[in-house]
Amino acid sequence: MMPKRSLLPLAVFLLAGCTDTMDSLSREFRNANNEYLDAMTMVTDEESAQRMNQRILKPMNARCKDIEARLTIWKSNRKSNQELVEQSFDSDSLSLYFAELDANRERYKLEKVRLRNLYQHYQDREIERLKAAGDPVPVIRDPRGLCPNLHDLVIKDGFKEIETQLTNPKLAALVATYPTLKGVNNFAELHQVFLKNVETHKPKKKQVVQAK
Tens-place pLDDT, residues 115-148: 999 999 999 999 999 999 999 999 999 999 999 9
| 93 burial type by CB count under 10 A (0-12 exposed, 13-18 middle, 19+ buried) | middle
Handedness of CA 112, 114, 118, 121 (dihedral sign): positive
Tell me the HSE value of 88 on the side-chain side, using a 13 A CA sphere. Answer: 26
Mean pLDDT of 66-81: 96
Mean pLDDT of 12-17: 48
pLDDT at 209: 47
Residue 131 and residue 139: Cα distance in Å, rounded? 10
Question: Is the predicted pLDDT of residue 11 greater than 70, yes or no?
Answer: no
- All structural domains of the chain with their residue ranges: 19-109+158-200
CA distances to 38, 143, 161 from 44, rounded to whole Å, are: 12, 18, 20
Residue 186 and residue 89: Cα distance in Å, rounded? 12
Residue 53 and residue 64: Cα distance in Å, rounded? 15
pLDDT at 56: 92
pLDDT at 61: 87
Mean pLDDT of 80-90: 97
Tens-place pLDDT, residues 155-177: 988 888 889 999 999 999 999 99
Residue 171 and residue 169: Cα distance in Å, rounded? 5
Mean pLDDT of 177-200: 96
Q: Which residues contact 52 (CB under 8 A, 6 or more apart)?
A: 39, 40, 42, 43
* H helix intervals, 19-169: 22-41, 46-52, 60-76, 81-89, 92-132, 143-146, 148-154, 160-167
